[in-house]
Amino acid sequence: MSAALKPASEPSQAGSRRLILDHAARLFRERGYAETSMRDIAGVCGMKTASLYYHFASKEKIVTEVLNTGVATVSEEASRRVDMLGADAPAAERLHAAISAHLHALLELDNYTGANIRIFGHVSSRVRAATMDQREHYEQWWRELLADAAARGAIRPDTDLSLLRLLLLGAMNWTVEWHKPRPDNTDSVEAIARSLTTMVLRGVFDDKPTPPLRRRRTKIGKLEPWKQSPP
Amino acid sequence: MSAALKPASEPSQAGSRRLILDHAARLFRERGYAETSMRDIAGVCGMKTASLYYHFASKEKIVTEVLNTGVATVSEEASRRVDMLGADAPAAERLHAAISAHLHALLELDNYTGANIRIFGHVSSRVRAATMDQREHYEQWWRELLADAAARGAIRPDTDLSLLRLLLLGAMNWTVEWHKPRPDNTDSVEAIARSLTTMVLRGVFDDKPTPPLRRRRTKIGKLEPWKQSPP
DNA sequence: CAACCAACCTAGCGTCCGTTAGATGAGCGC
DNA sequence: GCGCTCATCTAACGGACGCTAGGTTGGTTG
């Protein structure tokens, strides 16, 4: 459950319809929705613009399917990974599986989830409504995951679970803005998942700071795998 | 340092130039860059499209100034708030001030910072380059804030500071996607800041879970001030 | 081998975009 | 009253956009 299973960039298999969706998802994720024209999509698919309309009635139909596939992907991956642990696994492990799966789908599995996260706020309200149900379903899954962890006493009782969910998903979703896959195949995403899980569960505060004299050293991240550009 | 200082929605003062920027920032934040036309901006400013070109040479000039103002706002607000504490304030308090200031600028102060966060990834690389310096400067400020906290021993030495910075800023920046200001004037943003600071510093994990019989209750968020829509 | 159909093409329509040229008028120093 | 500048206007240009009508293929089938 670590390295990318698919190249995460090139189309997956036969069928023009699938080819179009794969390329559209990639372009939407890389450039945005309005910044990707039907001519662009047709271009990278090796066909003329009009041919797209044999497979899809409109640009909105394409983006709707891309968005829905995106939620479906991350949703299935997450529940698959968590269910794999069995229902009586420690809450901390279940949370880590969920975080790892979400990041894996977002950054490695394919371009659909990343496209969803990046362009959802930039499509028409019509399209947004058409994919809201799936999104709401996935969010509900997270609500229950955290509620379950809290019910088991694994989360401090003064924690606002709604806020925890929103901030945690925010930290994860924002990775699409700065994460660049490494040239080599080293797995950076699982490292992010581990770090985030630890930070969320245990925090970063040091209660017993600075033993006298020989001051402790903060680990220096040698050659960060994630290339940051924005704040 | 809590409630919104300005209405955060309507133009601030005289001057057509400023009027245009204020409205443009609002529209960019609400709808996105490509989804906001020069005709739209002119419309809400009560003028004709061509009049915008008396004040700005192009749409890109407008968005560049909006983006730069956005970083300047959050950057000044953050360092102001942290400097106010004095250099020898506890690292935890400095971190809270930084988080609170960032969220305040993003969600309450005006529309410039929010516009920056929402559309930065959707403008041309030319525009992005023109505001990169400021962004890099602000990010450097955060690097130093965290490095300083680590040097004082307030952050556990096995913490990857780069990752902490990216995930923390991610959790904050993503709030623009779900936070809706409350109808009443109650301050929800400072509550978010407090929660996030606590979560990051102490984590949410409960080491001493579930005392036998009388199980503890997880605080139920009554009428959440933040209205969530996306995952 | 003729009919058919899926999959693609050429060509272009109407619309909206950012942008520009040039006119208009209000306010002001002289 | 004259000339000048500022701020805005009317009108329109060229190009990119989403989309469509209708033609051309090449493979399958009766």
The CATH number for B114's domain is 1.10.357.10
**Three-state DSSP state, B48:** coil
Total structural domains within chain A: 1
For strand C, is any atom closer than 7 Å to the CB of B64?
Answer: no
Q: Given this model, what pLDDT does residue A216 score?
A: 47
β-bridge partners, A155: B205
Distance A17 CA to C10 C1' (A): 22
**What is the mean pLDDT of the segment spanning B101-111?**
96
Instruction: Enumerate the nucleotides of strand D whose atoms come under 7 Å of any protein CB.
Output: 7-12, 16-22
Please indicate, yes or no, if residue B131 is contained in any of the structural domains: yes
Residue A15 scores a pLDDT above 90: no
Q: Given this model, what pLDDT does residue A56 score?
A: 96
For strand D, is any atom closer than 7 Å to the CB of A59?
Answer: yes
Please indicate, yes or no, if residue A195 is contained in any of the structural domains: yes
Write out pLDDT tens, residues B108-145.
Answer: 999 999 999 999 999 999 999 999 999 999 999 999 99
Using the CA of A38, give the nucleotide whose C1' is nearest: D18
Please indicate, yes or no, if residue A181 is contained in any of the structural domains: yes
Please indicate, yes or no, if residue B72 is contained in any of the structural domains: yes
- From chain B, pick out residues whose CB is under 8 angstroms from the CB of A205: 92, 154-156, 201-202
Expressed as residue numbers, the domain containing B162 is 58-202
- From chain B, pick out residues whose CB is under 8 angstroms from the CB of A158: 219
DSSP symbols for A171-219: HHHTHHHH----SS----HHHHHHHHHHHHHH-SB-SS---SSSPPPPP
Q: Given this model, what pLDDT does residue B76 score?
A: 98
Please indicate, yes or no, if residue B7 is contained in any of the structural domains: no
**Percentage above 70 pLDDT, chain B:** 83
**Band of residue B209 on the pLDDT scale cut at 50, 70, 90:** low
Using the CA of A42, give the nucleotide whose C1' is nearest: C8
Q: Which amino acid is at B226?
A: W
**Percentage above 70 pLDDT, chain A:** 83
Give the residue among B58, B211, B187, B77 at the shortest CA–CA distance from B127: B58
Please indicate, yes or no, if residue A154 is contained in any of the structural domains: yes
Q: Given this model, what pLDDT does residue B230 score?
A: 45
How many angstroms from the chain centroid is the CA of residue B202? 23
Write out pLDDT tens, residues A70-111.
Answer: 999 999 999 999 999 988 899 999 999 999 999 999 999 999
Give counts: helices (H), strands (E), chain A: 10, 0
For strand D, is any atom closer than 7 Å to the CB of B50?
Answer: yes
Q: Given this model, what pLDDT does residue A208 score?
A: 63
Rg value, chain A, Cα: 20
**Three-state DSSP state, A155:** strand
Q: Given this model, what pLDDT does residue A176 score?
A: 97
Q: Given this model, what pLDDT does residue A140 score?
A: 98
Answer whether B199 sits within 8 Å of A153, measured CB to CB. no
**What is the mean pLDDT of the segment spanning A124-147?**
97
Please indicate, yes or no, if residue A185 is contained in any of the structural domains: yes
- From chain B, pick out residues whose CB is under 8 angstroms from the CB of A37: none
Of A227 and B200, the one with more pLDDT:
B200
Write out pLDDT tens, residues A153-202.
Answer: 899 999 999 999 999 999 999 999 999 988 876 778 999 999 999 999 99
For strand D, is any atom closer than 7 Å to the CB of B46?
Answer: yes
Residues 6+ apart with CB under 8 A from B142: A231, B98, B165, B169
Residue B227 scores a pLDDT above 50: no
Q: What gap in Å lies between CA A63 and CA A119, rounded to an integer?
A: 9
**What is the mean pLDDT of the segment spanning B145-172?**
95
Q: Given this model, what pLDDT does residue B208 score?
A: 63
**What is the mean pLDDT of the segment spanning B8-19?**
64
Q: Given this model, what pLDDT does residue A205 score?
A: 77
Residue pair B117/B106 in contact (Cβ under 8 Å)? The answer is yes
Q: Given this model, what pLDDT does residue B3 score?
A: 37
Residue B8 scores a pLDDT above 80: no
- Ranking A41-50, A197-206, B206-215 by mean pLDDT, the lowest is B206-215
Q: What share of chain A is helix, strand, coil (3-state, %, to 5)?
A: 65, 0, 35
Please indicate, yes or no, if residue B27 is contained in any of the structural domains: no
**Band of residue B225 on the pLDDT scale cut at 50, 70, 90:** very low
